[in-house]
Chain A
Amino acid sequence: MLKRRLIPKFLARKSTRSEMGDYEVCISQNYSNLKMVGNLRSQLRIFESNKADEFLVINCDKSFRSLDLDFIRSVQDSIALLSTPIMVGGGIDSVDDASNLIDVGVDKVLCGISSLNHGLHTKIANLFGSQALSISIDYLVGPEGFKIGFNQQSHYTLSSFKTLIRDIENSGAGEIVLNRIDFDGTRAGLDIETLRTAQMATSVPIVISSGAGTPEHFIDAFESGADGIATGTYFAKLDQNPLQLRSRLFNAGIHIRT
């Protein structure tokens, strides 16, 4: 039986402490107010010991349009001795970006929806397979509907949101990551409602991200059918690790590795 996935999330940026091109890991609130919590290489190693099901590393350095070679090198160094699946996103704007990452051992690249417009998704899916392409929908929910994207903030109604998801699947995505921006760092709960909306619109696996704060949040989302949950703040700010959380979820009847 396929197990649900616990996916520690690492917001990465160039370390201010070290001159060696080291990357540090941060947590955030609303994807701003970045607070560093550790070293990327060190944290990935620790989470592998704790049997994370996958890693999600997001490049947060806004200073580069496309992928910084230092970042790719840092990812490569960090995972060289590890054997955990890894998804990487943040600034993937070309087939080369995707290729450079996959070449160093990254399993999935995470692209935003802006690249939907210029056919990047399809090119990546054709070259590396759908299972190598995950698409992140970063959104807010307001009275008028969905606002999508960190910068662009395009408006979508419920109906056009579902169409967007179908378009994403048709463009070759193997997985969708739903990322509710205003829940980030709040630890107040995940957006189950949007998960349910997305489930009706696509047949690919769905990962939900932002807002997990208690084991109940994880249980609710998994019971609602989330294939995976990505979380950064939860493990960084509490005396919790994936091994502890797993047992709790197992006790609640969730199919998860122990």
Chain B
Amino acid sequence: MSELIRCARCLLPETHETITFDVAGICSVCRNSELKDTVDWAARKKELNLIADENRGKSAYDCIVPFSGGKDSVWTLYYIVKELKLKPLVVSFDHGFYRPNLIKNREKVLKELGVESLIYTPNWKLVQRLMLQAFLEKGDFCWHCHTGIFSYPMWVAIEKKIPLVFWGEPSSEYASYYDYSEVELVDEDRFNRIINLGMAAEDMLQRLGEGFDERDLLPFTYPPAHELIQIGVKSIPLGSYIPWDVKQQTDTIKAVLGWTGDFVEGVPPEYDYEKIECYMQGVRDYIKFLKRGYARTTHLTSLDIRNNRISREDALDLVSAFEGKRPYGLDLFLEYTGLTEKEFYEIAITHKLDSVTPVVNVKIGLKPPDIQQWQRHPSMPQNQKELALLKWRAER
């Protein structure tokens, strides 16, 4: 267990993005969640109903719901259809790593709710290169996924002239880029702060070097402001209008829609509802652990601490037991990017924050039950990997 300074109430450490501590040692995320109770949710709900009324029946679809099939987007879609009685167009971005249970959930939910959907799959060869480049540049290989998920639905909104876009939870649930006193717009500012790791598509194109052009990166490019303004876009998280309650929402979608949870690498089995979509999730969390000294178990138990569902001591035990173990998904990641395990650690460690103790003894995590069904996409040609690695090493 590293000696990071953690919040006196939850377990978020000093290395968590944007965290600040007050004189009592309580973190800004905890304090922000206190703000949640002071929000006039009745007024926000009224605002939400107004927005819904303004958009109902105006065009072929009342709104767009970006959808992964995870608990948040399922709850959001459920609420839009059943409560707000809007006709959505469901838009999904296929990052390449949907798990079997997630695909089943997706089908079940969409059929049960009776909605139309689009799914977009990007060029795998480009995705591989982006994964490797982002991992090298920023120690986070999910750039294509972050940017694609948030950009692609906006292009659909423009093309089909559907101004209203409903996202799920507000970021104030887990970081301090925004706070609950404001309605968080899911716009280009937010894209630049939280989503694109400081690299817009144009910038990534520069860093990729040869082989791709602006057209290839269009799905990862946030649309120009004037095009969004032209359709009168309103891109908002549902969680700015109704108080977000993960446990209650998950129970509802399980009971009403037959949504099922799944095992997730790096977290205790009882947390079967978060981040079940992607089989690279374990690797992503492992890298975060190597860089910042904490990962998803800390995040999940901190949420539970704030909601009085677990004590801090019990939470610490879970963190010790489950965090920071080598995930099985790493084998796939190495194939996709062409890296060796040694190179993987070499790259991850360069992004380690200074206050984090390097991991010495690597322990192996639990084996995911569905791992045989995780797709072995074409691996990265070795020469491409070598070139990227050479360039990166030369610039260090």
Asked if chains A and B are in direct contact (CB within 8 A), the reply is yes
Q: Given A37-B206, A38-B207, A81-B225, are A46 and B17 neighbors across the interface (CB < 8 Å)?
A: no
CA–CA, A243 and B175, complex, Å:
11
Q: Given A49-B189, A237-B137, A251-B14, are A38 and B354 neighbors across the interface (CB < 8 Å)?
A: no
Instruction: Give the residue name and chain of the B residue nearest to A235 (CB).
Output: B198
Residue from the list B176, B188, B191, B206 in contact with A247, Cβ < 8 A: B176
Residue from the list B140, B198, B225, B354 in contact with A46, Cβ < 8 A: B198
| Cβ of A83 to closest chain B Cβ, rounded Å | 12
- 1/0 contact string of A42-79 vs chain B (CB within 8 Å): 11011011100000000000000000000000000000
Q: Given A81-B225, A235-B198, are A247 and B18 neighbors across the interface (CB < 8 Å)?
A: yes
Q: Are A38 and B20 in contact (CB under 8 A)?
A: no
Q: Which of B359-396 contact A (CB under 8 A)?
A: 395
A167 interface residue (CB < 8 Å to B) = no
Q: Are A243 and B193 in contact (CB under 8 A)?
A: yes
Most buried by A among B28, B177, B191, B225: B177
| Cβ of B392 to closest chain A Cβ, rounded Å | 10
CA–CA, A25 and B28, complex, Å:
34
Q: Are A46 and B192 in contact (CB under 8 A)?
A: yes
B200 interface residue (CB < 8 Å to A) = yes
Most buried by B among A35, A235, A243, A246: A243
Q: Are A38 and B202 in contact (CB under 8 A)?
A: yes
| Cβ of B278 to closest chain A Cβ, rounded Å | 19
A150 interface residue (CB < 8 Å to B) = no
Q: How big is the B interface, by class?
A: 20 to 34
CA–CA, A49 and B178, complex, Å:
12
Q: Given A35-B395, A239-B351, are A43 and B21 neighbors across the interface (CB < 8 Å)?
A: no
Q: Given A46-B198, A248-B14, are A39 and B203 neighbors across the interface (CB < 8 Å)?
A: yes
B158 interface residue (CB < 8 Å to A) = no
B156 interface residue (CB < 8 Å to A) = no
B235 interface residue (CB < 8 Å to A) = no
- Residues on the B chain within 8 Å of A236, using CB: 198
**Which residue numbers of A lie inside 8 Å of B, CB to CB?**
17, 24-25, 33, 35-39, 41-43, 45-46, 48-50, 81, 214-216, 235-241, 243-244, 246-248, 250-251, 258
